[in-house]
Amino acid sequence: MQLLKTSGPTRVWKSIFRRGPAITNRTRSVAVFGNLFLHWLPVKVREKSLRVRAAYYLGSLSFLLFLLLVITGVLLMFYYHPAAPNAYRDMKDLPLVVSNGVFLRNMHRIAAHLMVLLVFCHMFHVFYRGGYKPPHEFNWVIGVVLLLITLFLSYTGYLLPWDQTGLLGRHGWHEHRFSDAGHRQQGPLRGPGRKYRR
């Protein structure tokens, strides 16, 4: 009980719980615009706030692409085996074995690229508009964590097909290019007539 009494006035507390009780019209509208679900479906809204801006839907579109990625990812999981011997073969056989397999995989791949792009655009827009300033630091931290999770999941999804691109992404282009003597002749300013010098 003592912890609740002492944790009230701190900066972290004010960042997470930004407003007091909704008594006046102003505090009620602040509560509506601060709540995601009430913000999407408000009871009354000023006409000025309904104007569509260029970056108005970046967060919502990112969330819809996330839902699309979950649905297509679950459908792709029914056929895909995440083991090194089977991964590339499963992706190669996907168009032949699964009905609309190419469409499903390409929808998943393009949605992943678009989600990363939209999340970056959303983060840039929030940063440009000053969304990291008090009292919104908590939202900014959550946004940065979601950005890092998005990038991590994008990278792991990049590796899953276990093709040449995934191997290069895992080992790094430089390490893969100079891994053995047969590959040392490839690269910029090197041809079959030139020798590799250390």
Each residue of 108-163: pLDDT tens digit? 999 999 999 999 999 998 888 888 888 778 888 888 999 999 999 988 888 777 77
- Residue 197 CA to residue 109 CA, distance in Å, equals 40
Structure token digits, residue 71: 């649905």
In this predicted structure, what is the pLDDT of residue 114? 96
In 9-140, at which residue ranges do the beta strands (DSSP E only) sit? none
Range among 29-43, 73-87, 144-158 rated most confident? 144-158
Q: How confident is the model at residue 29 (pLDDT cuts 50, 70, 90)?
A: confident
User: At residue 1, does pLDDT exceed 70?
Assistant: no
Is it the case that residue 68 has pLDDT exceeding 80? yes
Query: pLDDT > 90: what percent of the chain?
Result: 22
Q: What are phi and psi of 196, to 5 degrees?
A: -80, 130
Is residue 160 within 8 Å of 82, Cβ to Cβ? yes
Contacts of 107 (CB under 8 A, 6+ apart): 68, 72
Q: Which residue has the higher pLDDT, 101 or 187?
A: 101
The SS3 assignment for 178 reads coil
Locus of tokens 């999407």: 40
Residue 97, amino acid:
V
Burial 42-59 (b: 16+ CB within 10 A, else e): eeeeeeeeeeeeeeeebb
Pick the most confident of 16-20, 32-36, 66-70, 169-173.
Answer: 66-70
